[in-house]
A and B are shown apart, each in its own frame.
Chain A
Amino acid sequence: MFGELLKGLQTTLRYMFRPPVTVQYPDVKRPVRERFRGRHELKRFANGQERCIGCSLCSAACPADAILVVPAENNLEQPTSPGERYAATYEINMLRCIFCGYCEDACPTNAIVLEHQYELSFYDRQTSIYTKDMLLVPPDQGHGEIPPILTQLGDKRPSPPAQIDL
């Protein structure tokens, strides 16, 4: 019995001198992988125009019905986005969202991208709804990088992207 006890403690001692596998979470943050699907971001073109054209395909592809898009006609003198329409309202309910990534798959202009932020918590249901101001990349912070994996996929994308019969 005494021998077994020592044997057990030997394992304990061995592990004491190994580096820990854990990280001290709020102080140290583990970087996420490149393909990680976190909070959404609405991207811009290089000239500052919004990529989103208000087509609502993301909303149609969403399994959890988390996205609300209300499109409006572009002002021709100062267009918000290329094309005829833009998203006047763009809301994502983060409590409904299941982060499956179908919205970024469905998007014909790569406007919506699931980015790397994962710390999403709310005090009430109202604050869980992310509006367009919160999702859109601010104009002074560039136009937002599109991850290469999405642009690669874009080449092989069937057109139009959704609702194709087999």
Chain B
Amino acid sequence: MKAEGTMIKTEELQINIGPQHPSTHGVFRMLVTVDGETIVDLKPVFGYLHRNHEQIAEVNTYLQNMPYTDRLDYFNSMANNQAYAMAVEKLAEIEVPERAEYIRVIMVELTRILNHASALGFLINDMGAWQTPLAFGMREREKILDLFESTSGARLMCNYFRFGGVVRDLPPDFVPRLQSLLTGLPTFIDEFERMLRENEILRIRSEGIGVLPKEVAISYSVTGPVLRGSGIPYDIRKAEPYSIYDRFDFDVPIGTVGDVYDRFLVRIEEMRQSKRILEQALKQLPDAEGGHINPKARQNIRPPVGDAYTRIESPKGELGFYLVSDGGQTPYRYKVRAPSFINLTPLSDMCRGYKVADVVVILGSIDIVMGEVDR
């Protein structure tokens, strides 16, 4: 440290990171004020991918909105479908058969594993471990996408859920294939965890970086792994069990400090817990007899006048759909509470005081998808 007076005088400088930068996870711009290498202020600018999702939904019928929800967070189309289907089911008071509920849980938990595997791959990619860890994550994701393809007919835009069930029953070879996938999963998760825990560079890049204290996290109403990384055991599956989550035994992992490293570990642990839920769900899965997992799947519905809000624990946080019905074929109002968008708001607080190179890592640790942020 040089004595005062001899230090080089620096000036604050405004620079743009994005919107067309590969590490901003989509068209996202950060207006960064830097003093040398240190972040003084950061202003997130988004809206480049705005495509009028909520307004379009007010023109389409309830059923026609289902494939549009796939395209919110295109990594977890199944979770989006579930949140929307639940909102309409609450509005129209539709019962979901037992088997359909289990199929839904299996699909959403697979989505969670898929999302965390690829999100962590991208996070390590952002830290500079170019491509290889991402390829590990993608390899695992591909196996799950193959299951989705054989069940729903599409890999990403599944459009599998319907009001009161799911569109088609599981294919006959689904359960054995899922079981063999679950057998191989712990090896992958352990290997992935070792990659960060035993790598000095990655630990230096992540420990103590992007700290989000508990109080700040709550005041920004952050949810999902980011909130749990800050040490608050809040999981909607436990706090307000929806669907059949009260029948499963699983833990809610939490972090201690709230830095990038904690968020990484929380996601790793969540994959293990999802595997536990999947194993229990497969054991309890009712037989296909009794037919009908989708009694009202094909019909256009007209829910009674009223409103409904449902929320689920999507892999990225609390995903909620608010619907107002005026008794017609189309929703009168349709609002999405997107976890990516709300988790992005404390970004400037998380980045202030760190270096420019850390911004990319912190952004990666929030795990955003711009399709959901901008809608």
Chain A residues with CB under 8 Å of chain B are 4, 21, 32-37, 61, 63, 98-102, 105-106, 114, 149, 153, 156-158, 161-166
A157 to B159, CA, bound (A): 19
Q: Could you tell me if B302 and A35 are in contact, using CB atoms closer than 8 angstroms?
A: no
Known: A158-B299, A166-B299. A36 touches B149 (CB 8 A): yes
Query: Given A35-B153, A63-B60, A101-B153, do A156 and B292 touch, yes or no (CB 8 Å)?
Result: yes
**Of the candidates B142, B151, B159, B298, which one forms a contact with A21 in the assembled complex, judged by CB atoms under 8 Å apart?**
B142
For residue B16, CB closer than 8 A to chain A, the reply is no
A98 and B67 alpha carbons, distance in the complex (Å): 8
Contacts of B171 in A (CB 8 A): 34-35
> Contacts A63-B64, A102-B63, A162-B300 given: A35-B152 contact, CB under 8 Å?
yes
Q: Which of B142, B146, B159 contacts A33 (CB 8 A)?
A: B146
B139 within 8 A of A: yes
- A166 (CB) vs chain B CBs: closest residue: B301
Q: With A34-B150, A35-B171, A37-B153 in contact, do A166 and B296 touch (Cβ < 8 Å)?
A: yes
A35 touches B168 (CB 8 A): yes
Cross-chain contact A98 with B157 (CB below 8 angstroms):
yes
Which residues 92-117 of B have a CB within 8 angstroms of A?
92, 94
Q: How far apart sit A36 and B146, CA to CA, in the bound complex (Å)?
A: 10
Q: List CB contacts (< 8 Å) of B65-121 with chain A.
A: 65-68, 71, 92, 94
13 A-B residue pairings within 8 Å (CB atoms): A36-B154, A61-B64, A63-B60, A63-B65, A100-B67, A102-B63, A102-B64, A102-B67, A149-B168, A153-B168, A156-B291, A162-B299, A164-B299
- Is B224 an interface residue when CB atoms closer than 8 A count as contact? no
B374 nearest CB across to chain A (Å): 18
Which B residues lie within 8 Å of A4 (CB)? Answer: 200
Given contacts A33-B146, A164-B299, 18 further A-B contacts (CB under 8 A): A4-B200, A33-B150, A63-B60, A63-B68, A98-B67, A98-B71, A98-B157, A99-B154, A99-B157, A100-B157, A100-B159, A105-B167, A157-B298, A158-B299, A162-B299, A163-B300, A165-B301, A166-B92
Q: Would you give the shortest CB distance from B327 to chain A, in whole angstroms?
A: 11
Does B225 sit within 8 A of A, measured CB to CB? no
**A163–B63 alpha-carbon span in the complex (Å):** 11
- Give min CB distance, B103 to chain A, whole Å: 14
**Residues of chain B at interface, number, CB under 8 A:** 34
Q: Are B152 and A164 within 8 A (Cβ)?
A: no
For the complex of A and B, the 8 pairs showing the least CB-CB separation, nearest first, are A63-B64, A100-B67, A35-B153, A33-B150, A37-B153, A164-B299, A166-B301, A33-B149
Query: When chains A and B are docked, how far (Å) is the Cα of A21 from the Cα of B150?
Result: 19
**Chain B minimum-CB-distance residue to A12:** B132
B303 within 8 A of A: yes
Give min CB distance, A55 to chain B, whole Å: 15
Q: List the A side residues contacting B301 at CB < 8 Å.
A: 165-166
| Residue from B68, B153, B299, B300 within 8 A of A114 (CB atoms) | B153
In the bound complex, CA of A100 to CA of B71 (Å):
12
Bound-complex Cα distance A105 to B160 (A): 13
Residue of B nearest to A11 (CB): B191
Which secondary structure dominates chain B's binding surface? Answer: loop
A166 touching B302, Cβ below 8 Å? yes
- Bound CA–CA A37/B68 (angstroms): 16
Q: Closest chain B residue to A162 by CB distance?
A: B300
Chain A residue numbers with a CB within 8 Å of B292 are 156
Inter-subunit contact A36/B298 (CB<8 Å): no
- Taking the closest CB of chain B, its distance from the CB of A110, in whole angstroms, is 13
Beta-carbon contact of A63 and B67 below 8 Å? yes
For residue A149, which residues in chain B have a CB less than 8 angstroms away from its CB?
168
Chain B nearest Cβ from A66, distance in angstroms: 12
CB distance from A150 to the nearest CB of B (A): 10
CB distance from A112 to the nearest CB of B (A): 14
List the A side residues contacting B291 at CB < 8 Å.
156
A98 to B51, CA, bound (A): 15
Which chain B residue shows the least CB distance to A164? Answer: B299
Of the listed residues B154, B168, B200, the one surrounded by the most CB atoms of chain A closer than 10 A to its CB is: B154
B94 → A minimal CB distance (Å): 8
Kindly state the separation between the CA atoms of A161 and B300 in the bound complex, as whole angstroms: 9
Residues of B within 8 A of A165 (CB): 301-302
CB distance from A37 to the nearest CB of B (A): 4
In the complex, how many angstroms separate the beta carbon of B130 from the nearest chain A beta carbon? 14
* Minimum distance in angstroms from A93 CB to a CB of chain B: 16
Q: Is the CB of A158 within 8 A of B298?
A: yes
Residues of B within 8 Å of A158, CB to CB, are 298-299
Which residue, of B94, B149, B298, has the highest number of chain A Cβ atoms within 10 A?
B298
A32 to B302, Cβ gap below 8 A? no
Residues 31 to 77 of chain B near chain A (Cβ within 8 Å): 60, 63-68, 71
Annotate B219-246 by CB proximity to A: 1 below 8 A, 0 otherwise. 0000000000000000000000000000
Q: How far is the CB of B78 from chain A (nearest CB, A)?
A: 14
CA gap between A156 and B292 in the complex, in Å: 9
